[in-house]
Amino acid sequence: AQLGVAVIGIGKMGADHVRRIDRVISGARVAAVADTDRERAESAAAGIAGCTAHTDPDAAMGAPGVDAVLIASPGPAHEETLLAALDRDLPVLCEKPLTPDTAGALRVLEAERKLGHRRVQVGFMRRYDAEYRQLARLLRDRELGRPLLLHCRHRNLSVHPYFTNEMMISDSVSHEFDAARWLLGEEIAAVRVLRPAPSSLAREGLSDPQLVIFETEGGVLVDVEIFLNTGFGYQVQAEAVCERGTARIGDEHALVTSADGRWGGRIAPDYIERFAAAYDREVQEWADAARRGEVTGPGVWDGYAAVAACEAGIEAQRTGRRVAVEMIERPKYPER
Ligand code: ISE
């Protein structure tokens, strides 16, 4: 039988996931949608056979045919929906951030631990990107020796005027925190933030770009250029510097044209396009695992670790100091 998914939050990401579950992946269908804006929910449900529209996430989770939940609402709304989903023992795919702060993340961690099995996956889609996977394998197998440095560039075409300095860490750099933990297999120990004189193209008050530098427990240094108003496109790049060589991803060399005395290629405008294949694979693997009663992707612990690093990052941004990441000891946790 197909996995009936309730999609909570029909913003940019939620709408894309509805399309993906409806038309791209196999073995799953959209059984319900919820959005605080009723019209949005109704227009998302229209045309999908058997899909009901709701304004209340809990009503969507309880709707007929719902076996799993995909949470794509704004971060501050995640905790309540996560706890309700765990209460119903439903498999969850939750977009990042897991929660806005570590206190909330720990409550989710505790609820899942009490349930006795893993149910929640966090939407760190870079783990499903083909190039990231190649880099992860190379680093894990120590093909170029031990990693020493990781240089990251994370650039957006533009962001909404409501984007804050804090969100540059919690919404954007959270991906590098997770990617670094996953690529290097180590927790993050401390974070620093440096800010150049901002671009005049960023809105007043937004310190764009910023340089976020962090250390892993094993002493690898990671630097992240976070630049959200580039005006030219969406770029996510990483270069690992290892003892015997370097490895680099995200250079977009897919198609290079030569014409009119110039050579060049296209830059994706946003994450929806840049990570389309990664999202497809992420949601397909999540749904396949959910049908077997398993979670195979990044879980609550990974979500918590990223939130803890973000908290330190925001403090470092505010104070200009090096801030240590504080985390609880990893609890004994069910494997599946
Ligand atoms: C957005 O929320 C994302 O998750 C994107 O991957 C990131 O590039 C962007 O900066 C965030 O706002």
Asked if residue 331 is part of any domain, the answer here is no
Q: Atom 10 (ligand 1): residue with closest C-alpha? A: 172
Q: In terms of domains, do 188 and 317 share one? A: yes
Q: What is the pLDDT of residues 224-243, one digit of tens each?
A: 999 999 999 999 999 999 99
Q: Say whether both 171 and 312 belong to one domain.
A: yes
List the domain range (segments joined by +) for residue 181: 126-271+307-324
Record the tokens describing residue 282, joined without a space. 């992420």
Looking at the predicted structure, is the pLDDT value of residue 333 above 90?
A: no
Mutation pick for ligand 1 pocket among 125, 165, 175, 212 (CB with most ligand atoms within 8 Å) = 175
Evaluate whether residue 335 is within a structural domain. Answer: no
Identify whether residues 178 and 226 lie together within a single domain.
Answer: yes
Ligand 1 pocket test: which of 12, 167, 171, 275 has the largest number of ligand atoms within 8 Å of its C-beta? 171
d(CA 12, CA 200) in angstroms, rounded, equals: 27
Distance 302 CA to ligand 1 centre (A): 17
Confidence label for 109 from pLDDT (cuts 50, 70 and 90): very high
Q: Band of the pLDDT at 19, cuts 50, 70, 90?
A: very high
- Cβ pair 145, 120 in contact under 8 A: no
Tell me, what's the ipTM?
A: 0.98
Please report, rounded to a whole number, the percentage of residues in the chain having pLDDT higher than 90: 97
What distance in angstroms lies between residue 89's CA and the mean position of ligand 1's atoms? 29
Which atom of ligand 1 approaches the CA of 275 most closely?
6
Question: Which residue's CA is the nearest one to ligand 1's atom 11?
Answer: 172
Q: How far apart are CA 14 and CA 20, in angstroms?
A: 10
> Is residue 336's pLDDT more than 80?
no
What pLDDT score was predicted for residue 335? Answer: 57
Q: Which of 16, 78, 98, 156 to mutate to test the pocket of ligand 1 (most atoms within 8 A of CB)?
A: 156
Atom of ligand 1 nearest to the CA of 159: 12
Q: What is the CATH number of the domain that holds 256?
A: 3.30.360.10
Q: How far is the CA of 271 from the centre of ligand 1 (A)?
A: 7
Q: Which residues line ligand 1 (CB under 6 A)?
A: 156, 171-172, 175, 271
Interval 10-29 mean pLDDT: 98
Atom from ligand 1 closest to the CA of residue 172: 10
pTM of the model: 0.97
Contact predicate 299/115, CB 8 Å: no
Q: Decide if 154 is inside a domain.
A: yes
DSSP 161: T
The long-range contacts involving 213-217, CB below 8 angstroms and separated by at least 24 positions, are 214/177, 214/180, 214/188, 214/189, 214/190, 214/309, 214/313, 215/188, 215/189, 215/190, 216/180, 216/181, 216/184, 216/186, 216/187, 216/188, 216/189, 217/186, 217/187, 217/188, 217/189
Please tell me the residue having the least CA distance from ligand 1 atom 7.
172
Q: Assess whether 12 and 114 both reside in one domain.
A: yes
Residue nearest to atom 9 of ligand 1 (CA): 172
Q: Are residues 118 and 197 in the same domain?
A: no
Token duo for residue 119? 């149910």
**Residue-wise pLDDT tens digits, 59-79:** 999 999 999 999 999 999 999
In a domain, 147, yes or no: yes
Give pLDDT, residue 253.
Answer: 81
8 A C-beta contact, residue 217 and residue 327: no
Q: Residues 8, 27: one domain?
A: yes
Number of domains in the chain: 2
Residue 207 lies in a domain: yes
Q: What is the pLDDT of residues 114-173, one digit of tens each?
A: 999 999 999 999 999 999 999 999 999 999 999 999 999 999 999 999 999 999 999 999
Q: How far is the CA of 324 from the centre of ligand 1 (A)?
A: 24
Q: pLDDT value at position 260? A: 97
Which pLDDT score, from 0 to 100, does residue 254 have? 83
Who wins on pLDDT, 48 or 335? 48
pLDDT score recorded for residue 252: 86
3-state secondary structure 162-208: CCCHHHHHHHHHHHHHHHHHHHHCCCEEEEEEECCCCCCCCCCCCCC
Q: Which residue is closest in CA terms to ligand 1's atom 2?
A: 171
Contact 128, 285 (CB under 8 A): yes
Please report which confidence band the pLDDT of residue 176 belongs to, taking 50, 70 and 90 as the band edges.
very high
